[in-house]
Structure 1
């Protein structure tokens, strides 16, 4: 069956939170030792990992971790704890880093994000952005004029469901007005995004590499499914 709609994940798929030396300037551990490049890189990975627990947590924060993408308050709570356990002991520094994480303008688009969105919408196909996320990512698109190429934003904290739960995929399909069999899901997580296959969607996996190392994976995924 022909593909008439494409649902894109956000983090690691269309956009990526890139390491920025300015953000991490002056960060030091509990002993006052500045975080080296390796520690900074790991810190960024822990802030943006799509699935999988990145640090050990107590029961209270364990619950917040599992529910983080349904509730902005729980998201903030657990990520401040993740930062603390990752070597950022000063609350003001953790708060500053967290604010960067949830500011859409701080996220960097992949080089072919605009082209991929336009390629799908320009041919009259539906476009959805389907994300496990606890903050509004629409400004990342609207500030570039790309929201014109997105029919629906389906965000977990707004719908109360997270990938790979079938409810969030069903919500996306209903809002786009398409059947699963005519829909392609593009994402960087086999576990989360790949859950769309349980409803009959096609699925394309992309690698959440740094943006400079992944110039055209989105366009490649579209071409592989017969979309030009």
Structure 2
């Protein structure tokens, strides 16, 4: 945890914050902060700051805003769709989304997916905690919009997308490594990640019918979280 994440409504009128949870434990036992020491703080959807420790005890840490920092990174203005991954994979996806600050994540169950995954706590109550771990890692301030399309049709969602849809597949015609779209022109791009077993023939026919671009990350099969990480690296590099 490189940054302490707080919510705007946790701030008192004097711009101080009192922490009594795992953040306090981290400040006291991992960072080993003492009064007058400084802590890097990210306020969700607002900015990056330096806070000063004004009091620390066994039970709580009290910090006060000292100065405003320039944003650590500019969030990636992209949207990503995932064919319902295993819960352990979803944790990594959510963490990475929080680290890079992408605009939105959408999870849908395509025909080949195990719909029992929807019952996992990662999809019902714990998902935001994993986004927070990514934000604490990098200092990203943007909390992505997350949609769980448990009762929605995934093809209908794609066909109604107001923007470009890029489908990732190992045999894609376009190589993402040569993708040079400026970040400020990527606001409505949706990158679509399929099942790790690959898209079936009917899916590919559907994509071709809608004239979606099929793009590749390389001529090897990647687990979903590695494919997502590769996409984020390539976008961030640009």
TM bracket (short chain) = 0.3 to 0.5
Pick the structure with greater CA Rg: 2
Comparing both structures, which one devotes a greater share of its residues to helix? 1
- Pick the structure with more strand per residue: 2
Considering Cα pairs closer than 8 Å and 6+ residues apart, tell me whether 1 or 2 has the greater RCO. 1
TM-score by length of 2: 0.35
Normalising by structure 1, report the TM-score: 0.37
